[in-house]
Amino acid sequence: MFSRRNRRPKSAELLTAWECLDAGDVPGALRRLRAGAEDLPPAEAALVVGRAADSAGFDDLREAAAALAARPERARALYDFGYACVERGLSYLAIPALRGALAQHPGALPVVRELVAAYEREGRHREAVEELTRHESGFADWPDRYLLAFNAAMAGDLALANRQHTLLPDPEDPQWLPARDRQRRMLGRAASAARVSPLDSTDLRGWQFVIGGTVLGTLSPFGFAAGMTGRYAWVQDSHGACLRGLLRLKALLAAAEVRPRSVSLLPDRGSRILGLAAADVLDLPAEPFAPGRQDTVVIAYDLNELAATDEGPEILGQLFERAPGQVLHEHASSWTDAPVVTADSVTLLCQSVVAPWDGQLCQGDDGGVERAEADDRPAAEVSAGIVAADPSPGEGDGETPADPDEGFAAFAAAVRDTWLQGDRARLTSSGPVRSSRFA
């Protein structure tokens, strides 16, 4: 057991994290560790991690941390700690430990693979590529060459990704068949998007399509050149933005020559409001969602919001495999906490959103900021406000690239043959286009 009686860490950063644990703030302690993870001695970090794991009831991580704190020189202890950190979502702490284990056993592929897994979860695909390339002479095609091709694509190096993918034989183990098929689809999407999109380090729409098959409707008009590259951090949504997203969806369906026969309504309030508006915009009948229904547009406001409902997890499981002619549209999609299924069409990418019908921040009578009351009118009345709204984009800060309707339609037409293919696997990375995120 870890307690206040255990040996305390020595560094100032770790002492601050230790004090967070004294106050019962486990998330705060882990945030402190993230800030300096690269420079922290793994055995010292293990003291804090062990206490945090004890508080959270993660016995595997607690035991691995205790073993490393007791024997910091042991490669096995470093590996086990790194492995447990990856499993428990602390990949940033796994990386120094796994590097230490690999330094003691150069070329050990199990350690290399776990280090690559940690890099992937942190979105550090370029470093994963470098690590795999160093060991290319000794690795296996599955999983190692596959991992090299995948991480090359996620790092934005399509030439390397295609070259490595071409060298891959079909896997003998059937467990790798879904991964092979997803990678084929990803590289196919890249080839179609490249005809009209630069696929450079700021091409958010292009890369969002490549990595997940999602056509992104709009870009944030703020902070593009200051680190956001088209994504939102926090957004206070509006009826006009909802309508603009639905109009982009309509243009996407037309350009891709997809002709749905209905709009499927999901059960959470936000999705029902937006779905009723979509039925009006698309001039289609609306009906409650049914699994397996073909030729329909399923409308979600926020898939994470749906997941929090009683019916949500089951519905999301039913949406993982795409029914013929089914399109999943999500209005506000989290890029820092990706939904368990990836939508085919998304209006905007954000870290946090306040829906127009939720209590939004506004200026009070005294000039201060206060939260307005939520709009609790029937869903049909709220959706009518969306249809009647002004869909014109705001001016923004003037630094976001132009995104005319004609350009969006051209992108949609170029990728239509590789859109709506395969399953809707969750995105585990934001890909080659980086954006600032906020705690």
Q: Which residues contact 224 (CB under 8 A, 6 or more apart)?
A: 202, 230, 397, 399, 400, 401
Domain residue ranges in the chain:
12-186, 200-415
Q: What is the DSSP letter of 225?
A: G
pTM (two decimals): 0.93
Pick the CATH number of 12-186 from 3.30.479.30, 3.40.50.300, 2.40.40.20, 1.25.40.10: 1.25.40.10
Cis peptide leading into residue 143 (ω within 30°): yes
**What is the pLDDT at residue 36?**
82
Q: Please give the Cα distance from 18 to 288 (Å, whole number).
A: 51
133 CB neighbour count, 10 Å cutoff: 15
Are residues 343 and 329 in contact, defined by beta-carbon separation less than 8 angstroms?
yes
Q: Residue-wise pLDDT tens for the chain (439 aa)?
A: 444 445 777 677 788 899 999 999 999 999 989 988 888 899 999 999 999 999 999 999 999 999 999 999 999 999 999 999 999 999 999 999 999 999 999 999 999 999 999 999 999 999 999 999 999 999 999 999 999 999 999 999 999 999 999 999 999 999 999 999 999 999 999 999 999 999 999 999 999 999 999 999 999 999 999 999 999 999 999 999 999 999 999 999 999 999 999 999 999 999 999 999 999 999 999 999 999 999 999 999 999 999 999 999 999 999 999 999 999 999 999 999 999 999 999 999 999 999 999 987 776 666 677 788 899 999 999 999 999 999 999 888 988 999 999 999 999 999 999 999 999 999 999 999 999 988 6
Which residues pair with residue 288 across a beta bridge?
265
- Residue of 226, 223, 186, 162 lying closest to 429 (CA atoms): 186
What tokens appear for 315 in the block? 């519905």
Task: Specify whether domain 200-415 bears CATH 3.60.21.10.
Answer: no
Q: Is 407 exposed, middle or buried (0-12, 13-18, 19+ CB in 10 A)?
A: middle
Q: Which residues contact 187 (CB under 8 A, 6 or more apart)?
A: 153, 158, 161, 162, 165
**What is the pLDDT at residue 10?**
67
Q: Does residue 356 sit in helix, strand or coil?
A: coil
Q: Please give the Cα distance from 106 to 138 (Å, whole number).
A: 12
